[in-house]
Amino acid sequence: MTSGSGQSEAVVRVAAVGDIHLSPDCRGLLRPSFETLPLCADLLLLAGDLTRHGTVPEAEVVAEEVRGLGIPVIAVLGNHDYHSAREADITRVLSDAGVTVLEGERVVLPVAGGKVGVAGVKGFCGGFAGRSAGEFGEREMKDFVRSARRAAEGLHRALAEVSADGCGARIALTHFAPVPDTLAGEPVEIYPFLGSYLLAEAIDEAGADLAVHGHAHLGTEHGMTAGGVRVRNVAQPVIGRAFALYHLPFANPASSPGSTDVRGVET
């Protein structure tokens, strides 16, 4: 890619996958593909549901798949990773393997002469504009919606920090979907359990150049927020390969959200 001046345009090569659902019986399944990553990618994003049932032995398998790849690995956990209430232990196992696990936080990486900021949160469900749960009624309902709101607030805060850090490429990493576009193919009855419009609001308000999520196995890869930020569903059943690869040109971090062109590259 070149700029209008004819000079080469710096890009960050983003590999991403979610919903790999590893367990001890599939040890080594993804390692051969992951070992090719230094040849084609600058970082690997893991979009949650890394395990089947959220157990430590499963997390240890994930850790060995991504240990020592030679590029940064950034992850969020998914609902499966929370199933056994061992999410803190799973985070520790992954961290010990060199994975940066985010939950309402951000990481800034030096890449291709610029800075890439990744803001991550698991997210939660609740539905999308016009068909979403409201913070009203029983305590259980209020708690449900507040969980979605807290997740979105964490993502907003982390993305704002990324912009303040002067990052030329800003990525929102979640497990739950921020938009319904990437759910196409899933039964519409379960859309409210697959994501929340609050995540998209956070992305558009704080600013991002790319949003990556998983969770929707029967969904669609490509989508976009109302503010024009490209969204990619990288659940492995959707992308059909070990990882998807995107080329994200560096942009002026002060530019409007979504103004960066995101190009998908087949792997």
Spell out the domain ranges in the chain: 11-265
When computed from its CA atoms, the radius of gyration of the chain, rounded to whole angstroms, is 17
* 261: CB partners within 8 A, 6+ apart: 249
pLDDT in tens, 151-185: 999 999 999 999 999 999 999 999 999 999 999 99
- CA 113, 266, 212 angle in degrees (round to 5)? 65
Q: Taking the model in full, what pTM does it have?
A: 0.92
**210, β-bridge pairs:** 171, 230
DSSP structure class, residue 26: G
- CA 88, 100, 167 angle in degrees (round to 5)? 135
Query: Can you tell me the distance from the alpha carbon of 163 to that of 159, in angstroms, rounded to the nearest whole number?
Result: 6
| DSSP string over 169-218 | EEEEEESSBSSSGGGBTB-GGGGGGTBBHHHHHHHHHH--SEEEE---TT
CATH for 11-265?
3.60.21.10
Q: Residue range 26-43: average pLDDT?
A: 96
Question: Taking the C-alpha atoms of 37, 43, 45 and 46 in order, what is their torsion angle to the nearest 10 degrees?
Answer: 50
CB neighbours of residue 227 within 10 Å:
16
3-state secondary structure of 25: helix
Residue 206 reports pLDDT greater than 70: yes
Residue 9 reports pLDDT greater than 80: no
3-state secondary structure of 238: helix
- Residue 131 has a pLDDT of 81
CB neighbours of residue 94 within 10 Å:
24
3-state secondary structure of 56: helix
Residue 255 reports pLDDT greater than 90: no
Q: Which of 86-95, 133-142, 187-196, 238-247 has the lowest mean pLDDT?
A: 133-142
Query: Can you tell me the distance from the alpha carbon of 70 to that of 198, in angstroms, rounded to the nearest whole number?
Result: 35
pLDDT band at 252 (very low <50, low <70, confident <90, very high): low
Q: Residue range 129-158: average pLDDT?
A: 90
pLDDT band at 141 (very low <50, low <70, confident <90, very high): confident
Q: Residue range 98-102: average pLDDT?
A: 98
